[in-house]
Structures are given as structure tokens and as C-alpha cells.
Amino acid sequence: MSTRSDLLTIAETLLRTKGYAAFSYADLADEIGIKKASIHHHFPTKEGLAIAIIESYLFRFRKQLDTINEENAGVVERLQAFALMFAQSSKNGMLPLCGALAAELLALPESLKDMTRVFFEIHLNWLQSNISLGQEMGEIKPELDCTKVSRLILNTLEGGSFVSWALGGDYEQSSGLDFVLAALRTTSPHN
């Protein structure tokens, strides 16, 4: 891997564990074993580094969403696969990137605030599209409001991440998504 790629990987981990305000180029230099001047060569500003992290993450995230859609015909299975991304972050001792950014929204530079909003919109648009598809396919109750259901799912998953983070609990067992899915389905999965 290149130094730039290593920096992005380690900086993303620091952002998702310490937060934007709490990590520094000194932290990165210690983690990767290079001088701060070398980091400044690749990323002259911390804001520029964070933008590169988010852009790289969003590229991977969009691919994950496409893969979920391609590999899962059923909408409930897609939603469960979506939730696994949050569970994986928790197992790796990290907050979801969008949640970590949102927690510090008021302290972020404007460019990062805008990217954070876009990040959440990507989540919600994907969820709304799938909820609507689930209604068309008869998996999800047709009378439910797609926007409200999408926000409920995202709120549940993001909130579960923060509760697991604070309590050190098992995210998958405590996120509450299973209760949400049971309420959304037109029929019980056991029927």
C-alpha cells in the first residue's frame, strides 16, 4: 500500500474512534511511523484529509449498497444486510463514519458538514427506494410512509451504534432492528 492509502486508512480509524476534533497529525505520525511533515505533503490540511476520507468511504459505501441490492432479491434481506454494516463497525470497535461525523457536526468545517448531510441522504435515499420496492413486492405494509420508515430504520441503526459504543454491548442483539422489521412486514417470517 502507498503512504497516502495508509494515511487514509489510519485516519479513518482515528476519526471513527476518537472523532475529528480529537485526532491530530501527531497521532497519525505515531501510528504510521512517519514525520508530520510527510503527512502535510500528502494532506496539507486536516480538513482536506477528512474530505479524502469521506470521499473514499462514500465510494466504498455506494458499492456496498449496490452489492446488497444485487445479492439480495428480498427487501427484508437487503435491510438485514444493511444493518450488518453497522454491526461490523461495532465489532471493529468503531462508530459508523456518518455517526462519528454527525456527533461533532457543530465543530466541523462547512465542507464536512455538507458531506455529512449528503452521507445521511445517501442512506435515506437507499432505504426509501428499498422500502418502496418492498411495498410493491408485498413484503412491506403498503400503508406505511417510506420517508418515516427509512428514518426509523436509520435512527435505530445509528442509535444502536452509539448505545453499543457506550455500553460495550453486542450491537446485533441490541439494535432493535428485528422489532422494526417485524412491524414492517406484511406477514410473519415464520408463516
Task: Going from the first residue of the chain to its last (191 residues), give the mean pLDDT of each consecutive group of 10, the final group possibly shorter.
Answer: 88 94 92 91 95 96 98 96 89 89 94 96 98 97 97 93 80 75 78 44
Contact 78, 66 (CB under 8 A): no
CA–CA dist 148, 146 (Å, integer): 6
Quote the pLDDT of residue 73.
95
> What structural domains and CATH numbers belong to the chain?
53-184 (1.10.357.10)
DSSP state letters, 6-53:
HHHHHHHHHHHHT-TTT--HHHHHHHHT--HHHHHHH-SSHHHHHHHH
Which cell numbers hold the place of 169?
454491548
CA–CA dist 172, 160 (Å, integer): 9
CA–CA dist 30, 33 (Å, integer): 5
Contact 96, 154 (CB under 8 A): no
Distance of CA 87 to the CA centre of its chain: 10
Quote the pLDDT of residue 138.
96
pTM score, whole prediction: 0.90
Quote the pLDDT of residue 1.
59
